[in-house]
Every structure is written in C-alpha cells, then in structure tokens.
C-alpha cells in the first residue's frame, strides 16, 4: 500500500501543477465560505478559464484527442480535479457539457454532430444543461410526461421540466420526452438535444429555502425540434438517459459545506460553560463521529482511485459518499448552530461566525439529501446493485404508461 503516484501519474500531476501555477494562484489555507449563486460575471470568468484549460489540454481529459480531448484516463481526470481544488479558480459549470452531454452525443450522435458541438463545449463557448426531471417524475424519472409528438420531420414538445441547473445561461439541453404513452413506461421515451433559445421555451428560476436559485423550471409550449436532433432510436430514450445518468452518479460527489475541520474550528472559537466548546467531552464525542465519516469517505475515494488506476470500473462508492455526506452536512450545520446557543438563530454575517456558513448550510442541506438521488434512492441502489437484493414490487409493471395510477382523480 502506498499513496504515491505511478511514474506516469507523477509526470501528469507535475504537468497539472505547472499549468495551475502558471495560470492561477494557490488557495490560502483559510477556508473560503463561498456563496454559490452565479451572476453573469461568474459565468464569463468560468468560460474564460475553461478556454485556458482547453488550450492546455485539461478541459476534457478523458475525451478522445480527435475531439480536442487528451485521450487520458479517469485517474488523470481525478488527479487534475484533486490539484485544481487547491487553487483559486472560477466555479465550474461545464460538468453537464463535458461529462454528460458530449459523451452522449459521441455515443449516440452522428459524427458531424460531434464535430459541430465538441469544440465549443470543450472551450466553454456553449453550455449544456439536462432536461430530465419533472414535477411528477423525480425519483421515478421513468414516469415523465413531457410529450413529444411527431409531425413530419419534426417533433412537437409540450410539458414541463424542473431542477435544471444552469438553464438560464445554457445554450443547449439534453431532453427526454414521452413519444408513446401506449407502451410500458420505459419503452415510450425518446431522447433529443434542443436549442435552449427555441421559440416556446420559458425558463423560470426556482427560489429555494435559502433564497438562492440554483435550479430552474423549463416550460415547453409547442416547441419544435427537427428529427435530426434525436439521439438514439425512437422509444430508446430511456437507454440513452441511463448511460448518461450512470455517468452522473459518478460525478455527484460529496455534499459541499462545513465539514469536520470547520465544526472543530467553530468549537475552538465558541465558549461552552466557560471553556472552549472543544474541551467539552460531549462535543468531542460527537465530533469524533464526523471525523470518522469524513476520513472514511476520503479514504474510500482513494480506494476508488486505486481501482481506476488499475483500469477497473468504479463501483457504487459515489452513492455512499453522497448518502453519508449529505446527512453529515445537515447534522454538522445543526450542531454548529446549536453551539452558538441563543445567537444561533441570527444568520446575520455581522453576528454569525464564519460568515453564517453553518446557518447557510442548514438551509441548503435538505436539498443535498434530495437532489441527484434522494437518500432513499441511494439506499435502494446500494441494496439492489451492490448487495443484489431483490427489487421492490412494481405497481407499474407491464402497464401501458397511460394506465399507470397517478393518484389524479379521474
């Protein structure tokens, strides 16, 4: 066992560091309690940085070289991410483009489509978003209802998508819609890509508990898509979406926010019964639990990297990471606030320590337990895919989509 890079990995890491050192600066050791709402300037900065990365060959490490990628490995991708974390860089908004959309087009699209879209996506000139979830189709994505009706060489889209990150500055979207309601639910879906500027698309931001709006609703009214923008066969949208979601599950990681170091720092700062809270044994025992979890997740990632480094396909580790870290985040936020006693309810940055980071986290933590797979869905995945337990009974099994009970009064 060792934590060292192979010679090849070490060379690559050195290259990455040289690039980062030349083009940005190392983070200070102080933790930044960054707010997460993006404005136009953020987007512009992100695009500029992405272009720099593309020029240096770090924008899409695992893409084939013919499309501007590096033809590199997953482990190189992770090494880059590991290193970049230590530097001051704009918030990354291209995961959906680089990690999801273009790989899907590479798998299911014509070569000329890939040539059209790869480079702009790579350089951040065009941003992609994902149009999957709907108000009535969250955990049960296969229950989506947005209709796609064929009309000659075109499809007409009507319906509503929700939880779309970045929709308000995205150029293109990956869309799954129902092309046939008379077959079982997964068989009636078709996959398209769509120009987000198409007539009939309306985008509304969703206001979250915290007041932030990281997600949008997207409404479709008679939006027309040429059939040439279909990816995969008619009725095979589920298969296309699933390969994409599998990639997403690998991307969705740790719920960001105050972690062990931060609650430890807060407990050093705050007094409890006349002494720093960190000296209180009850506080200490609770903090130990989080250290174990944090360290366990960090080390689990090393196990994944080892597997990747040996060319293996990673397992369900990302599910564990998200499941554990989201609840940990909510608990740490709540505990941190409680350490402040009666002052905890004020999240004014003039009062609340660390720029009210714990209070902010309490407000967005519930979303972390839901978005990108709820706690319940993740437990199902672990139980069924890792432990191979049988699936639940299916009320929608073998039913044509239109006959699946929805609870709507008929």
Region 279-298 residues binding a second copy, contact defined as CB under 8 A: 280-282, 284-285
- Footprint of a second copy on 371-410 (CB under 8 A): 392-393, 395
CB of 237 to another protein, least distance (A): 18
CA distance 336 to 339: 5
In the block, residue with structure tokens 């299916």:
394
Tell me how many residues contact a second copy (CB under 8 A): 8
CB of 291 to another protein, least distance (A): 7
Span interacting with a second copy, options 167-175, 179-187, 274-282, 330-338, rule CB under 8 A:
274-282
Half-sphere exposure of 276 (CA within 13 A, CB side): 10
Cα-based torsion angle of the residue sequence 63, 69, 73, 79 in order, rounded to the nearest 10 degrees:
-120
Helix (H) or strand (E) holding 220: strand 215-226
Out of 122, 287, 318, 332, the only residue in the binding site for another protein (CB under 8 A) is 287
- Footprint of another protein on 182-201 (CB under 8 A): none
Q: Nearer to a second copy by C-beta: 14 or 288? A: 288
Asked whether the beta carbons of 107 and 85 are under 8 A apart, the reply is no
- Tokens at 299, concatenated: 């080390």
In the block, residue with structure tokens 């407000």:
363
CB of 221 to another protein, least distance (A): 21
Does residue 342 belong to the site contacting a second copy (CB under 8 A)?
no
Closest to 190 measured CA to CA, from 168, 175, 170:
175
CA distance 175 to 193: 6
Q: Which does residue 363 touch among another protein, a second copy, none (CB within 5 to 8 A, set by kind)?
A: another protein
- Footprint of another protein on 68-127 (CB under 8 A): 75
CB of 277 to a second copy, least distance (A): 11
Asked whether the beta carbons of 146 and 160 are under 8 A apart, the reply is yes
Q: Nearer to another protein by C-beta: 90 or 344? A: 344
CA distance 195 to 193: 7
Residue 92 CA to its chain's centroid (Å): 11
Span interacting with another protein, options 59-67, 85-93, 237-245, 384-392, rule CB under 8 A:
384-392
CB of 338 to a second copy, least distance (A): 12
The 10 Å Cβ neighbour count of residue 49 is 20
Q: Which does residue 271 touch among a second copy, another protein, none (CB within 5 to 8 A, set by kind)?
A: another protein
In the block, residue with structure tokens 């819609």:
177
CB of 337 to a second copy, least distance (A): 17
Does residue 4 belong to the site contacting a second copy (CB under 8 A)?
no
Q: Give φ, ψ of 130 to 5 degrees.
A: -120, 125
Out of 3, 22, 30, 410, the only residue in the binding site for another protein (CB under 8 A) is 3
Which positions lie near a second copy, rule CB under 8 A?
Answer: 280-282, 284-285, 392-393, 395
């Amino acid at each position: 066992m060792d934590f060292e890079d192979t010679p090849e990995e070490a060379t690559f890491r050195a290259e990455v560091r040289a690039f980062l050192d030349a083009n940005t600066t190392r983070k200070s050791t102080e933790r930044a309690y960054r707010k997460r709402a993006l404005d136009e300037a953020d987007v512009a900065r992100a695009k500029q940085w992405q272009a720099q990365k593309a020029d240096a060959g770090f924008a899409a490490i695992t893409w084939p070289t013919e499309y501007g990628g590096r033809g590199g490995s997953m482990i190189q991708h992770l090494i880059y991410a590991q290193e970049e974390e230590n530097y001051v860089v704009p918030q990354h908004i291209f995961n959906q483009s680089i990690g999801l959309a273009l790989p899907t087009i590479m798998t299911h699209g014509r070569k000329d489509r890939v040539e059209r879209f790869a480079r702009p996506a790579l350089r951040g000139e065009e941003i992609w978003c994902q149009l999957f979830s709907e108000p009535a189709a969250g955990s049960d994505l296969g229950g989506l209802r947005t209709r796609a009706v064929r009309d000659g060489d075109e499809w007409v889209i009507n319906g509503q998508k929700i939880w779309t990150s970045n929709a308000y500055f995205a150029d293109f979207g990956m869309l799954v819609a129902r092309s046939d309601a008379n077959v079982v639910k997964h068989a009636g879906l078709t996959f398209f890509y769509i120009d987000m500027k198409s007539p009939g698309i309306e985008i509304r931001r969703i206001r979250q508990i915290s007041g932030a709006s990281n997600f949008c609703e997207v409404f479709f009214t008679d939006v027309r898509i040429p059939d040439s923008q279909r990816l995969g066969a008619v009725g095979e949208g589920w298969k296309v979406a699933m390969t994409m979601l599998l990639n997403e599950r690998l991307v969705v990681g740790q719920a960001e926010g105050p972690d062990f170091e931060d609650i430890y720092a807060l407990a050093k700062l705050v007094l409890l019964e006349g002494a720093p809270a960190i000296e209180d044994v009850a506080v200490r025992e609770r903090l130990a639990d989080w250290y174990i979890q944090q360290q366990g997740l960090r080390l689990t990632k090393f196990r994944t990297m080892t597997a990747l480094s040996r060319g293996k396909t990673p397992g369900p580790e990302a599910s564990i990471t998200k499941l554990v870290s989201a609840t940990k985040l909510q608990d740490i936020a709540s505990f941190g606030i409680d350490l402040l006693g009666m002052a905890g309810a004020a999240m004014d940055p003039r009062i609340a320590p660390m720029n009210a980071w714990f209070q902010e986290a309490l407000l967005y933590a519930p979303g972390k337990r839901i978005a990108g797979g709820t706690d319940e869905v993740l437990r199902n995945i672990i139980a069924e895919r890792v432990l191979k337990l049988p699936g639940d009974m299916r009320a929608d099994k073998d039913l044509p989509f239109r006959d699946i009970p929805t609870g709507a009064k008929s």
